[in-house]
């Protein structure tokens, strides 16, 4: 469930409220009782954790395959090419 920041325009009281996205927004201030309690715009608070995504998938470019050393005999595939 997301956490919303609410602020009362009348008394300035602020509160973080965890509620479902489908819940109706709160309007009554728990501090002064006025109907001026509203949601504020705030930054998203999430963090990607664990293995995967950026840490392992996109952080470094893929390494080029190592070239096989030629043995010099002329019999192995590296020498033929």
Q: Which domains does the chain have, with CATH numbers?
A: 1-42 (2.20.28.10)
Segment 15-42 mean pLDDT: 93
Average pLDDT over residues 10-18: 94
Position 39 pLDDT exceeds 80: yes
Is the pLDDT at 41 greater than 80? The verdict is yes
Report the alpha-carbon distance of residue 39 to residue 22 in Å, rounded: 14
72 in Cβ contact with 35 (< 8 Å): no
> Is pLDDT above 60 for 13?
yes
21 vs 49 pLDDT, higher one: 21
Spatial separation of the C-alpha atoms in residues 10 and 39, rounded to whole Å: 14
- The closest of 56, 57, 77 to 68, measured between CA atoms, is 77
pTM: 0.54
Within a 10 A sphere around the Cβ of 37, how many other Cβ atoms? 24
Q: Using pLDDT thresholds of 50, 70 and 90, give the confidence band for residue 78.
A: low
């Amino acid at each position: 469930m997301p956490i919303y920041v609410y602020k009362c325009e009348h008394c300035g009281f602020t509160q973080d409220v965890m509620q479902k996205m489908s819940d109706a927004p709160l309007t009554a201030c728990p501090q002064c009782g006025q109907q001026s309690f509203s949601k504020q715009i705030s930054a998203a608070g999430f963090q990607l954790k664990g293995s995967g995504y950026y840490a392992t998938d996109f952080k470094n470019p893929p390494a080029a395959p190592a070239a096989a050393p030629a043995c010099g005999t002329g019999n192995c595939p590296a020498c033929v090419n």
